[in-house]
Chains A and B, each alone.
Chain A
Amino acid sequence: MSLNILIVDDSSIARSVITKTIKLSGVPCENFLYAENGREGLDVLRKNCVDVALLDINMPVMTGIEMADEMLSDEHLKSIPVIIISTEGSTTVMKKLQEKGVKGFIRKPFTPEKFCHIFNEVLGTENEKI
């Protein structure tokens, strides 16, 4: 299975580096979709078929946490796994997000191996690697 992956980050360089790193990780990806904040991210999710959403936390307009909250309370979006990609290092914050239903965390800076590990954990893509 190749994945449609949504990347929500207000930084153009972060979106580029995340895309490049996922490609290097060997995670099978079909298509990348992008949004600059949580509000745009929700619009993309409602118009496209997305397998996993990667969210930054600290963004203008709507944060990644607010977007995850909306996704988890929406019948049509709550089954899409959410992975947080952020500089956030507080285990207190991560625990709260996990309790809400967030599936994984990747802390910046990251490596391809980290993506591979988290995708395997969250989506079971291990046997799908190219």
Chain B
Amino acid sequence: MTLKIVREPINKHIQKIPLGWIHIIPERCKECGFCIELCPKDVLIVGNERNIKGYRWPKIADGKAYDCIACKMCEWICPEFAIFVKEVERGEVV
């Protein structure tokens, strides 16, 4: 089911898309894949590096660094408290 936009909001020009900055604690990750699967913008992919237990923690996909909209689904679904998102201003961390 795809979301169909019926009309444009009249205050669209003042709406800002939030930007999230993803923080990861690699030692806690168990590679369950929940954050990668449930990211609505497909920002995260399986990383290359392994932690001490051999699990590959997620990393940001190439070219997707500014696509995170700080919905915090990865933070909520992570069973390990291993990922969290800080909302930042677009000009602040760039």
A and B: real partners? no
